[in-house]
Structures are given as C-alpha cells and as structure tokens.
Amino acid sequence: MNPLELIVESSKRVTPTIFNHEIGSDIESVLYHVIKSLKPEYKEFVIISFSDAYASIIRYLESVYEDADEIFKKGAKLISVVSFFEENLGQELLIQTKDPELIVGRIKTNLGTKNNTLFLVLGLDIFGVRYPGELVMLLPGLIRVLGGGKNNNIIITFNFKAFPENITEIVNSFALNLFKFGVDVKGSEIKRKLTVIRSVFVEYNLKSWYYTVYPELRFFPIG
C-alpha cells in the first residue's frame, strides 16, 4: 500500500483524520490528491473554512491543476467562518463570530445530521492563532456535529508549528488518524517528508517517506 492509499483507506475506516503540516510541505497538493480519490465515494462534500483558508487554497490549486474546480467546487457546499473573501466561491453560509457554541450551533442547524458525507475542515489553525481559547472549545463540538451521522469522513488540516505543546496535544487527542507533513533540511538540500503518526494500519505507524508534488505526487521510502 502506498502512502496515498494508506491515507485514503485509513480515513474511510475511522474519523477524524488530521494532517499535521508545516510551511513547505505543499499540503494543498496532497489535499488535491486525497479529495480527488475520496470525493466520488460520498454522497455529499462539505467544506468548512475558517479565516478564508479555502479562498487561499483554491487559488493555489487552480494555478496548478486544471481540474481543481471540478474537484473542489462542483457539488461542494461551503460554510465560511470569520471570512471576508469567500462570498464568490459558492458560499452557502457565512458565520461571523468567534464564539464556539454559536459556530457549532449554526453549522448544526444548517447541516442537520449528514450521512455518507465527506467533510474538509480548513483554517482551524489560523482561527486558533487569533482565538486560542475558543479553539480548544470549538474542536470537540465541531467533530461531534460532523461525525454524528453514518459513514462520514472528516479531514482536518492543522499547522502545529504555530502552537505551544499543550495546544497540539489537545488537537492530537481528537485524531484517530494523524499524518505529519514536514520538510527535512540537510545542507542545501530540502526534502518534503511524510510520517505516519497514527493510523488504523498499525504496521505503518511511525514509518516515513520523502515525497514530491510536481509533476506528480510520488513517495520514496526512507531507509
């Protein structure tokens, strides 16, 4: 099983899946391949974007992949939280509050109980930098609402480099699958690196690969 298959199959078995990423890991390209693989298997696709994270990601993906709109826009429902630039991206609901209970409540009211739905949660880290106290209250409520139906799949991206250890431990505690995307710097050489921290395929846990994203997503075993 290659790492992309591992990510996709793990997310289908248990949820949520968190992508722990840092700058330079090109998490947008990894997301493109993951969502492209997963989306056809679900009845609905819902994107929950905090602090305009979706606007930033889709702008990048559209410049790299010809079918980015087909993958991320067609048939997608967009819920924006504390957003200023996503009005023209098919936004269904705008929530302009930092209050965790109001955010979760409005999302629940809008969505109801979904089944067989793929959820992509973007920008929680950006929101958390601005409102760290609200983040630790928001995350469990959000996961509870999104995971309330049957056969749902929740993918969350999160840049752990921006937070102290106590916050990252709280976020990690909710991840049933946890994949770390970072960079290795050795002299003048920079390599992107994926490490499986936790997954349902325990034989792969703590294994690592280097990877490239252009001209295609390819993984190379380490060691």
Q: Give the predicted TM-score (pTM) of the model.
A: 0.96
Give CB contacts under 8 A, 24+ apart, made by 10-13: 10/177, 10/199, 10/200, 10/201, 11/38, 11/153, 11/155, 11/177, 12/38, 12/41, 12/153, 13/200
Domains defined for the chain, CATH in brackets: 3-221 (3.40.50.300)
On the question of pLDDT at 202 being above 90, the answer is yes
Tokens found for residue 27? 């998490």
Cβ burial 51-89 (10 Å sphere, 16+ → b, else e): bbbbbbbbeebeeebeebeebbbeebbbbbbbbeebeeb
Q: How many CB atoms lie within 10 A of CB 155?
A: 22
pLDDT category, 164, cuts 50, 70, 90?
confident
Question: What was the pLDDT predicted at 74?
Answer: 94
Q: What is the pLDDT of residues 27-83, one digit of tens each?
A: 999 999 999 999 999 999 999 999 999 999 999 999 999 999 999 999 999 999 999
Q: What is the pLDDT of residues 79-137, one digit of tens each?
A: 999 999 888 888 899 999 999 999 999 999 999 999 999 999 999 999 999 998 899 89
Average pLDDT over residues 188-210: 95
Q: What is the spatial distance between Cα 208 and Cα 95, in angstroms, rounded to a whole number?
A: 38
Question: What was the pLDDT predicted at 223?
Answer: 67
Q: What is the pLDDT of residues 11-30, one digit of tens each?
A: 999 999 999 999 999 999 99
The answer for residues whose C-beta is within 8 angstroms of residue 150's C-beta and 6 or more apart is 115, 116
Question: What was the pLDDT predicted at 166?
Answer: 86
Q: What is the pLDDT of residues 167-190, one digit of tens each?
A: 888 898 999 999 999 999 888 889
pLDDT category, 3, cuts 50, 70, 90?
very high
Paired residues of 142 in beta bridges: none
